[in-house]
Structure 1
Amino acid sequence: MEILGYIASICIGLILGLLGGGGSILSIPILVYLFHVDAIEAAAYSLFIVGTTSLFGAIPKYREHLVSMRTAALFGIPSVVGTFLTRKFIVHSIPEILVQGEHFALTRRSLVLGLFAILMVLASISMIRGRKTESDDDRVRPGWLLFQGLSIGALTGLVGAGGGFLIIPALVMLTGLEFKIAVGTSLFIIAANSYSGFIGDLFNMKMNWQLLLPITALAILGILVGGRLTRLIDGTVLRKAFGWFTLAMGCFILIRESGIW
């Protein structure tokens, strides 16, 4: 299973490079189901893997003028604050068992993975349905974007995700950015988000670097390949693919955690 996990780690970066998000959609299931890492630890490890990989992918996007720095700042700064505060002060204070019944127990793992999956399903719907975009930074409403950034930062901090599966729909729907520019902008925000959350986790847990570094290196290889492939694929196709992929993974986690499979 570990060998399969290392092979799948390349796909973490490949998805990030192609879609500008979704790395945590793969990294958390890979860590939990293939490497048998605890859900809270997997969330922390995912932040490092996805953050480092996104940073490597964001630099060439910036050079290709596929990043809106104004949007990245307006959305990213409050998002980083939300992620850090959530990981530092809230996540590790959640008890292992939240509700205990005679035949049912709501655990911390179920809460984190269940919320993660539900957010994925909700985010996927907006990307599959889509809407006409205007590729115009003048449409950006700073106050609303700041609020969305803070809210999504807190949510991604709770589930331990870089947040691309939430950030990209928000950027496309709120600002009208063309999908490929939203991808590049998202990678910068994901990197900042992920590192802020991971730093918050460093105060609370010991990291397994022997596991983290090989997975991260393979994910970086994947994002370099994925970044090149985006030049060959239409943005609308990528947006739809992102939506369907997010929906499929969200449903998989919900089914797996419910005990059906």
Structure 2
Amino acid sequence: MSEHLLSFLMGSGVGAILALTGAGGGILAVPLLMFGLHMSLVQAAPVGLLAVGMASAVGAVLGLREGVVRYRAAAIIGLTGMAVAPLGVQLAHELPSTPLTIVFSFVLAWVALRSWRQSRMSAAAVATAHPTALARCEICEFDPAYGRLKLAAPCVLALAGMGALSGLLSGLLGVGGGFVIVPMMASISNVPMKGVVATSLAVITLVSVGGLAGAVSKGAVDWSIAIPFTVGAMIALLAGRYLGKRLAGAHLHQAFSATAGAVALLLLLRGLGLLGL
């Protein structure tokens, strides 16, 4: 199988995961490239970032059409993330590959654990017919009547901090940051989850631009791999939206969690030099 076709197929897998699991699913893009095409983390990161950024842009546009993107919050988080992302790219090129791979494995393990716990909570809520409501500290208050967040100073600072963290991870590890933005925004605001996810996708689009620009400036993007990978992700994402509405549920997220956990273990073993893949 040619390298270009394999890249397209792996990108399709990432797009399908994004369609079925939502924000955060794109974190598997970089490990797929590392194991499937034997790329280093620094080589795989910008390719994964391009694919996840483009796929997120599609979701963000659809969210804007539905009027659920909180665009002022997205601008604060996204612009801060864009400013910090080049720093992450710089660190990725200066730090040794081994510790970066180990750090990525722990980040992925955290995502897997969080997804598993959420799926169990959702399943329990459905079984008892009492949806769980997590206590929230509403630093950013959403007014449904006007469809806007009240951007007081504490809210702006919280959103900017969120953007800085997602931007750093974006440049450093090639991840969009949805797994950071979604839980953090949900915990500090009363924005409905549909709006949180749509806003997260808009942010990922902006932050990906910052991280990708930093990688392009260093000549670190392998376009022969990046283009087919991204095209595959876009096609699969659009096709998977219809399938996702039928298959979405706790068991699907548990399957994603188990897969992410297994990949995290493989990454850790690779980082420790115990796996030659």
TM-score for the superposition, normalised by structure 2: 0.75
Candidates 45, 49, 62, aligned match of 1:43: 45
**SS of 1:67 mapped into structure 2:** coil
1:54 aligned residue: 56
1:114 aligned residue: 102
Q: What are the ranges of 5 or more consecutive residues in structure 1 without an aligned counterpart?
A: 95-107
Calculate the aligned-residue CA RMSD, in Å: 3.0
Candidates 241, 244, 251, aligned match of 1:227: 241
| TM-superposition CA deviations, 1:12-49 (whole Å, max 9, x none) | 11222233333542221222111122221111221112
Question: In 2 relative to 1, CA 48–11 (structure 1 residues): closer, same or farther, beyond 3 Å?
Answer: same
Q: Is the 8 A contact 2:21 2:252 kept in 1?
A: yes
CA distance, structure 1, for counterparts of residue 211 and residue 101 of structure 2? 17
1:142 aligned residue: 156
CA distance, structure 2, for counterparts of residue 248 and residue 49 of structure 1? 22
2:10 maps to a residue whose letter is A
Q: Is the 8 A contact 2:41 2:173 kept in 1?
A: no
Q: What are the ranges of 5 or more consecutive residues in structure 2 without an aligned counterpart?
A: 119-131, 143-148, 150-154
Question: In 2 relative to 1, CA 235–180 (structure 1 residues): closer, same or farther, beyond 3 Å?
Answer: farther
Candidates 147, 165, 173, aligned match of 2:179: 165
- Quick check: 145-154 or 209-218, which moved more? 145-154
1:90 correspondence with 2:96: no
Question: In 2 relative to 1, CA 76–237 (structure 1 residues): closer, same or farther, beyond 3 Å?
Answer: farther
Candidates 190, 193, 197, aligned match of 1:183: 197
CA distance, structure 1, for counterparts of residue 134 and residue 192 of structure 2? 6
Question: In 2 relative to 1, CA 109–4 (structure 1 residues): closer, same or farther, beyond 3 Å?
Answer: same
1:22 correspondence with 2:24: yes
Question: In 2 relative to 1, CA 176–119 (structure 1 residues): closer, same or farther, beyond 3 Å?
Answer: farther
1:224 maps to a residue whose letter is L
2:163 maps to a residue whose letter is G
Greater C-alpha radius of gyration: 2
Question: In 2 relative to 1, CA 42–234 (structure 1 residues): closer, same or farther, beyond 3 Å?
Answer: closer
Q: Is the 8 A contact 1:133 1:172 kept in 2?
A: no
Identity of aligned residues (%): 29
CA distance, structure 1, for counterparts of residue 247 and residue 76 of structure 2? 28
CA distance, structure 1, for counterparts of residue 107 and residue 242 of structure 2? 29
1:127 deviates by: 4.0
Q: Is the 8 A contact 1:58 1:184 kept in 2?
A: yes
| TM-superposition CA deviations, 1:82-108 (whole Å, max 9, x none) | 112322x433233xxxxxxxxxxxxx2
1:204 deviates by: 1.0
CA distance, structure 2, for counterparts of residue 209 and residue 120 of structure 1? 25
CA distance, structure 1, for counterparts of residue 257 and residue 67 of structure 2? 24
Question: In 2 relative to 1, CA 74–125 (structure 1 residues): closer, same or farther, beyond 3 Å?
Answer: farther
Q: Is the 8 A contact 1:84 1:197 kept in 2?
A: yes
Q: Is the 8 A contact 1:80 1:192 kept in 2?
A: yes
TM-score for the superposition, normalised by structure 1: 0.79
Q: Is the 8 A contact 2:15 2:234 kept in 1?
A: yes
